[in-house]
Amino acid sequence: MNDSKRLAFSLWNLLSPILVSVVVMNLLTSLFAVLAVFWGTDPKEQYMMLQAAATAATIPVIAGYYRKDQAQPTMFWERMHLILEKKSVVQRTVTGFFMFLTGAVLGIALNNMILLTNLQESSPGYQKINSYFFAGGILFELLGACLLTPFLEELLYRGVVYGRLCDLMILQNRQNTERGGRRERQSRIIAMAGSAFLFGILHMNLVQFIYAGLLGFLFAWFMEKAGHIYGAFLAHTGANLMAVLRVRTSLFSGMEQGSADFYAVTAVFFAAGVLLILAIAFMFARQNQKSMAEEG
């Protein structure tokens, strides 16, 4: 296989799961919308119910890619399994909780920062999607937006796309040299950015491209540190949960744009997110030191 064919195959291997996910989701959503009309229901009023059903039906398709990659472990998954095995159940639980909190507070902070711009008002695509996002009742918003959608997207963008992009980017270093290790770390950072870019751009509007792209990079880092998608899923769930609670409850009514506390609360949430990231990095560093000491 020549270089051009190898590159084409690698790109297809990377992008085909995204294409399959988009096609299956759109087909199922359209099918369920037709059924809703047949049953005398307005699809727009039940958008989240239809979206949740389509997402649930798409998960097994993407899970097939995820299982396939682990059944034939690549460099990426071999490394993920080694990272995960070094963590106890308690360590996974604690770090998972911290990741959930990080996603929640940074989700609020990023939303507030975007509110300070005119991006939402100048993005018809965002306004349209946002109006659908909160159509169908809070039950399906919690089930769909806070559980099923994060699970599907983390399976796809972190479990499959990020993993395959890592294997595409990282050169196999036969010698365990400092330079080789540095190049591998740089390649992983590029893979994080690449998967975050794809995650953002598939949201199809500028506001969510920025929001999802930034959080997507964080989710990839969480997966890298956890050795599993659980951290990325919990952080994604935290961010989406705060978005739903913000609209559906009065929990954050005192920090809406224009209020006296808006800027202060935004700064506090952003600072809390940064501190949580530092705490997570510290916990993983301590865990690695302990593992190395036990192996030595």
Q: What pLDDT digit, counting tens, does each position of 199-225 carry? A: 999 988 888 999 999 999 999 999 999
Cβ-contact 291, 86 below 8 angstroms: yes
User: First and final CA of the chain: distance in angstroms?
Assistant: 43
Task: Grade residue 174 by pLDDT with cuts at 50, 70 and 90.
Answer: very low
- Where along the chain do its domains lie? 3-295
Q: What is the C-alpha to C-alpha distance for residues 201 and 209, in angstroms, rounded to an integer?
A: 5
Q: Tell me what pLDDT residue 246 has.
A: 85
Q: The pTM is what? A: 0.91
Q: What is the C-alpha to C-alpha distance for residues 173 and 179, in angstroms, rounded to an integer?
A: 10
Instruction: Identify the sign of the CA torsion 266, 128, 216, 214.
Output: negative
What average pLDDT does the structure give for the chain? 87
Cβ-contact 226, 95 below 8 angstroms: yes
Q: What is the mean pLDDT of residues 275-285?
A: 94
